[in-house]
Structure 1
Amino acid sequence: MNARSRHVRQAMAPVESKHAGLWITLAVLGMFLVLALAFSYVGWTSSSDATGHQMQQMSTSGYVAMTLGIVATLALGVGLMTLVFYSNRKGHDEDANADRSR
């Protein structure tokens, strides 16, 4: 083995270990996602609670209210994040920090 190939292998070792950590992290997060979806499906489709009493199904107006709540929450989150990025790009964040340094 020559010095160049040994140097290349040593330089590539940290990159390979970083990719391994990334794949392990993605695998664990994927497992959590599958477990959350399975738990949600079982909870959504069960027709009785833990004591065996029959549960009432959600009405159409309940689904509409839930959908409107989700849409409003997402719109609020997107709007606030848009303002954060806009403020950062226009330099307003630096102006606020300049006032503190006085």
Structure 2
Amino acid sequence: MKAFLLTITLGGLLAVVLFGVLTGWDASAMSIHGWIALALGTFLSLAVGGGLMALVFYSARKGYDDRIEIDRSPDSD
């Protein structure tokens, strides 16, 4: 029953959002420079996000995220 209510709620929310987008979208003219900037911004954002996720997985596999044990005995000097 919970899954059914969740599906109905999310479907209704999606319908409201789609209606708002379709009625509020006016075909504003964007120059070719605007489209290029939009494409480059999207690509670079995805590249940075993908690169950071790759670094997270690399760091976890190589053990860089492991806990460091510090020897605090008095004779360690």
What TM-score, normalized by structure 1, do the two folds share? 0.50
Q: CA, structure 1 residues 64+32, in 2 after alignment: closer, same or farther (shift >3 Å)?
A: farther
Gaps of 5+ in 2: 73-77
Find out whether 1:98 has 2:68 as its counterpart. Answer: yes
Q: CA, structure 1 residues 42+78, in 2 after alignment: closer, same or farther (shift >3 Å)?
A: farther
Aligned to 2:33: 61
What's the CA shift for 1:73? 0.3
**The structure with more helix, counted as a fraction of residues:** 1
If asked which structure has higher relative contact order (CA below 8 Å, sep 6+), I would say: 2
Gaps of 5+ in 1: 1-19, 48-55
For the aligned residue pairs, the C-alpha RMSD in angstroms reads: 2.9
- The number of residue pairs the alignment matches comes to 70
Identity of aligned residues (%): 40
- Give the distance between the partners of 1:61 and 1:34, measured in 2 at CA: 33
